[in-house]
Structure 1
Amino acid sequence: MLAAVAGVVLSLAYPPVGFFWVLPLAVAAYVVLVAPLPAGRAWVPGLAFGIGFCYVLMWWMRAVDPYAWLALSGLEALFYGLLGAAVPVLRRLPLWPLWVAAAWTAMEVLRSGWPFSGMPWGRLAFAVVDTPVAPALAYVGATGVSLLLAMTGATIAALVMGGARRPVAAGALVVAATALLAPALHPWQPSPEGSVRVAVVQGDVPGDGTDVLAVYRQVTDNQLRATVGLADEVADGHRAQPDFVLWPENSTAVDPFNDAQTHDAITTAASAIGVPILVGAMVDAGPDHVMNQGIVWDPLLGAGERYTKRHPVPFGEYIPWRNVFGDSFGKLDMIPRDMLSGTRREPLRIGGTLVADAICFDVAYDDGLYDQVTHGAQLVVVQTSNAMFIHTAQIEQQFEISRVRAIELGRSLAVASVNGRTGVIAADGEVVAAASPRTTAVLDAEVRLDSSVTPGTYAGHWVGRLAGPLTVLLLLVSLLGYGRRRGPEAREPAPLPQRTPELTRH
């Protein structure tokens, strides 16, 4: 019960509450509750912690379906049970709070990519925006910040549990806290290479705002009218001419290459504003598949470069093992075609600007944005719908993740949502422009371009890659080597009996 409560407390670090300071304390509580137990029992409070955390954090998943919320949250909770079994084994080793932190990080990386495409929601680093810890993202990356936060919690746990290693734990706590807070004294400094003006269009969704597919024609019309309205304001001198326009995911829910009405609407909008539009569109890929794409639509040349969503949502955008589940289980009949995954690593060229794109949940994954930024992207954009979750905390949680990415990558970032949250974010995470959810709005802002790469972009990548192998190695060392020397069966040899010295005859 205490572990479940600690998990609920951890969820309070994220929107809608956003109380960051409970984060290291909740991690410390987790370690205190599982570390003293045998591995065969420690998984139980670990699982209870995961249940308390995941079911509260992802309460918004009920907007899809209660069964989806139960299944996904339960699956993610299992990873905390798995970690719980590992902590007592790692505790046998010297410097164990560091190894527990590495194992926590490895667990986050594992559940962020497996099974299927994983679920990155709830990583520790995603709760640090607007705190003194946030500048560390640019130096050690999101995964590195998760490691240091987990280390902070584990060392607090070591101090609470006491023992001969308290001075070591205190030293480790000072190191972790210094690494987290020192970057605030000298935040990462971008290297601006000019600027562009970006217009971000939020067209809104009629009705209760949750069902894009039911009103997809009106959604596209709203995008068109808002963009034409912007063009009129530019012509009247009330607004500056943008360098390109950003439309959200699901700007059109039908293939603009096969649907003449949608094709004409996009062409009309691009011609009116006179600059490229990055359109979010569903594109057919044969009778059984579809692609979720960002398409650069030039006013003269038409459709050009495309980015395809890299991480479609299992059971939301495609059905794993469709031959097992079929398409008539629950609401699976709403997904008649599976969405294909994209593989693009290079940024899009929009006009003269290199732009890294992420579509909806892509922003929570490391790989796509890391690839595009290290290949020269000067600006980051996020195209998202989230209409299904418009009445939940999901839209705030995802917007916070976008702010984390802006700081980590050292890039200005623009978010276009079909009905909220739309905004423009500076490289330090500050929100410089925002639209109210469930409104039609056009934001335009001058944003800086930068092709320098933060240390965190590289560090986060390697911390994520190394945490898993290191944890497996340490578990083997503890089980096969160190455990044999320190285990109860390896008792110290009994001292030899004292012999009474013989008298020497003189």
Structure 2
Amino acid sequence: MTVSAPPVGPSDQLEPQATRPSGAARLLRLVPAAVAALSGVLLYVSFPPRTLWWLALPAFALFGWVLRGRGWKAAAGLGYLFGLGFLLPLLVWTGVEVGPGPWLALVAVEAVLVALVGVGVAAVSRLPAWPLWAAALWTAGEAVRARVPFGGFPWGKIAFGQADGVFLPLAAVGGTPVLGFAVVLCGFALYEVVRLVLDRRRTREVSRSAAAIALLGVAVPVLGALAARPLVSDRAEDGTATVAVIQGNVPRLGLEFNAQRRAVLDYHARETERLAARVAAGEVPRPDFVLWPENSSDIDPFAYADAADVTDKAAEAIGAPVSVGGVVEREGKLYNEQILWDPVKGPTQTYDKRQVQPFGEYLPLRSLLGAINKNWTTMVRQDFSRGSKPGVFDIGGTRVGLATCYEAAFDWAVRDTVTHGAQMISVPSNNATFDRSEMTYQQLAMSRVRAVEHSRTVTVPVTSGVSAIIMPDGRITQRTGMFVADSLVQKVPLRSSETPATRLGILPEMALVLIAAGGVGWAVGAGLRGRRAG
């Protein structure tokens, strides 16, 4: 007897069951994201006040690993995580007195620009010599961040984390763009060397040209830095000057540092008079001139006779010109101004800060922010106006360039003091509003890089510290503590020669941006050709 089975309908057929990824598999998918964020943190740890500059290399090696071969969406996400890991801890000081809102908003915007760099790096990672294109892309990203939005925010340039590193002499070759490019190139190339070694072990084959390029990517930045060492010198070319840096301290920390009328001015005048007593006692040499910090006069000495009188007496006591930082109003406009105060003639020269700080010295989108929350506009009641001329004081034949506080982060603001004849540079600053955060150490590192970049002595007078005297080779020879009254006196070398970085200006950065654009163009073209062929 034959029995025939009934037909099997579609609903009775067995369908393959979709297998859910195991817990371990799901965790593995999170590894690239975790590595991207942690490599950003590693990059942050390489920055001052720590001297772990070399951690930037493994940070970029890991960043290269997570980006290589990724699609643009994944690369954007991983780049954003890298940016958050780096910038969240680096810029935490921006929220010390105003709360986390501005800090988080700033980091969120800046990390978007890092994410775009991540997309570019992933695209060029398929090209020959990809570390070169990728490092140029990072430099291009820094160039954008230094200009937009609201005039830019260059804080976190890789160069500013290298004040203690072997790559520092490259600042004299091509400024912060070349120094940062070399570090990033070395990091990406380091990953490529490791990748090729692992490929060789697995396949027994490796492209000799790829290996040579990767090794050159590691070796050339290091050898270039060693070759650039002769550009770094603290030899006096135009004699010397004895300079005094005054740190008067402030009566209280935070945004209310100047709430007590004339207190900050009195503190700096008092410390100057103490120094005058030490000079009279023969403990220290008489300075040729004295440098006070930004905002060292908390009231306008042109508008208030008592402020002018206090400044006069301090200059007379020390018997030397004093560069005073004040907030000055002219024709209804506010200026962050440095005033050269002669002990006999009074005020003789001025410099108005040109790169004013958004949300600190002026408020972008004021009407929009006020419509959202009126309290936000009270932090900056009146916008500061920008100066228009480079700051170079001629003090008894010594030409002192001025880059006020925030300006030290901007290549152009420091360079044009040197191209206008500065034989040394001063960076008067006020960090009292940032408490005991890492901000002051980050800014001090910038000044060390600027010293090497332009081969100039750099002095950093700060209201509350850390104040310092920096030699043209980037060494700090004297420094103060934080939130103490103190003074520094030293004979420093004056120099007039220009480094290649000073002479070339923006050209190295432009060249690296063009290299980045060429790499992206090549990657896009290769991708389009691949799609057509497929």
Give the structure-1-normalised TM-score. 0.91
1:439 partner amino acid? V
Q: 2:244 aligns with which of 199, 202, 206?
A: 199
Q: What residue number does 2:154 align with? A: 120
CA distance in 2, matches of 1:106, 1:355: 32
Q: What residue number does 2:299 align with? A: 254
Mapping of 1:96-495 within 5 angstroms? 96-162=130-196, 164=207, 165-184=210-229, 187-188=232-233, 190-208=235-253, 211-287=256-332, 289-326=333-370, 328-345=373-390, 347-459=392-504, 461-479=506-524, 481-485=525-529, 487-490=530-533
CA distance in 2, matches of 1:19, 1:236: 42
Let me know the Cα RMSD of the aligned residues. Answer: 2.0
1:84 partner amino acid? G
Q: What residue number does 2:9 align with? A: none
CA distance in 1, matches of 2:391, 2:353: 13
CA distance in 2, matches of 1:199, 1:348: 15
Q: What residue number does 1:503 align with? A: none
- Asked whether the equivalents of residues 51 and 77 of structure 1 are also in contact (C-alpha less than 8 Å), the reply is yes
For the pair 1:59 / 2:59, whether they are aligned, the reply is no
Q: What residue number does 2:18 align with? A: none
CA distance in 2, matches of 1:186, 1:359: 26
4+ residue runs over 6 A deviation: none
- Asked whether the equivalents of residues 315 and 332 of structure 1 are also in contact (C-alpha less than 8 Å), the reply is no
1:139 partner amino acid? V
Q: Which runs of 5+ in 2 are unaligned?
A: 1-33, 197-205
After TM superposition, the structure 1 stretch with the greater mean CA deviation from structure 2, 253-262 or 381-390, is: 253-262
1:265 partner amino acid? V
CA distance in 2, matches of 1:64, 1:159: 45
After TM superposition, the structure 1 stretch with the greater mean CA deviation from structure 2, 33-42 or 377-386, is: 33-42
Q: Can you list the C-alpha shifts for 1:86-145, whole angstroms capped at 9, x where unaligned?
A: 112223433221111111001111102211121111111111122222223223322111
CA distance in 1, matches of 2:421, 2:346: 24
Secondary structure, aligned partner of 1:383: coil
CA distance in 2, matches of 1:237, 1:172: 55
Q: Can you list the C-alpha shifts for 1:436-495, whole angstroms capped at 9, x where unaligned?
A: 21111121111111011112223463222333344234323432x33344x14326xxxx
2:388 partner amino acid? T
Percent of residue pairs bearing the same amino acid type: 35
Q: Which runs of 5+ in 1 are unaligned?
A: 492-506
1:419 partner amino acid? S
In 2 relative to 1, CA 216–144 (structure 1 residues): closer, same or farther, beyond 3 Å?
Answer: farther
In 2 relative to 1, CA 216–98 (structure 1 residues): closer, same or farther, beyond 3 Å?
Answer: farther
Larger Rg over CA atoms: 2
CA distance in 1, matches of 2:221, 2:526: 26
Q: 1:45 aligns with which of 54, 73, 78?
A: 78
- Asked whether the equivalents of residues 320 and 342 of structure 2 are also in contact (C-alpha less than 8 Å), the reply is yes
In 2 relative to 1, CA 216–121 (structure 1 residues): closer, same or farther, beyond 3 Å?
Answer: farther
Give the Å deviation of 1:232. 2.9
Q: What residue number does 2:30 align with? A: none
Q: What residue number does 1:494 align with? A: none
2:361 partner amino acid? E
Give the Å deviation of 1:332. 2.9
- Asked whether the equivalents of residues 135 and 188 of structure 1 are also in contact (C-alpha less than 8 Å), the reply is no
Give the Å deviation of 1:380. 0.6
CA distance in 1, matches of 2:389, 2:515: 30
After TM superposition, the structure 1 stretch with the greater mean CA deviation from structure 2, 325-334 or 116-125, is: 325-334
- Asked whether the equivalents of residues 402 and 428 of structure 2 are also in contact (C-alpha less than 8 Å), the reply is yes
In 2 relative to 1, CA 396–210 (structure 1 residues): closer, same or farther, beyond 3 Å?
Answer: farther
For the pair 1:21 / 2:66, whether they are aligned, the reply is no
CA distance in 1, matches of 2:340, 2:232: 34
Give the Å deviation of 1:146. 0.4
- Asked whether the equivalents of residues 53 and 164 of structure 2 are also in contact (C-alpha less than 8 Å), the reply is no
After TM superposition, the structure 1 stretch with the greater mean CA deviation from structure 2, 460-469 or 117-126, is: 460-469
Secondary structure, aligned partner of 1:199: strand
2:127 partner amino acid? L
For the pair 1:85 / 2:128, whether they are aligned, the reply is no
- Asked whether the equivalents of residues 105 and 467 of structure 1 are also in contact (C-alpha less than 8 Å), the reply is yes
1:359 partner amino acid? T
Secondary structure, aligned partner of 1:213: coil
CA distance in 2, matches of 1:478, 1:272: 66
Give the Å deviation of 1:231. 2.4
1:489 partner amino acid? R
Secondary structure, aligned partner of 1:442: strand
- Asked whether the equivalents of residues 139 and 188 of structure 1 are also in contact (C-alpha less than 8 Å), the reply is no
- Asked whether the equivalents of residues 301 and 308 of structure 2 are also in contact (C-alpha less than 8 Å), the reply is yes
In 2 relative to 1, CA 189–204 (structure 1 residues): closer, same or farther, beyond 3 Å?
Answer: closer
Give the Å deviation of 1:396. 1.1
After TM superposition, the structure 1 stretch with the greater mean CA deviation from structure 2, 436-445 or 207-216, is: 207-216
Secondary structure, aligned partner of 1:291: strand
CA distance in 1, matches of 2:65, 2:251: 50
2:419 partner amino acid? T
Q: What residue number does 2:35 align with? A: 2
In 2 relative to 1, CA 459–25 (structure 1 residues): closer, same or farther, beyond 3 Å?
Answer: farther
- Asked whether the equivalents of residues 390 and 419 of structure 1 are also in contact (C-alpha less than 8 Å), the reply is no
CA distance in 2, matches of 1:286, 1:68: 31
CA distance in 2, matches of 1:359, 1:91: 40
Give the Å deviation of 1:81. 0.4
2:79 partner amino acid? G
Give the Å deviation of 1:210. 5.9
In 2 relative to 1, CA 130–238 (structure 1 residues): closer, same or farther, beyond 3 Å?
Answer: same
Give the Å deviation of 1:19. 1.2
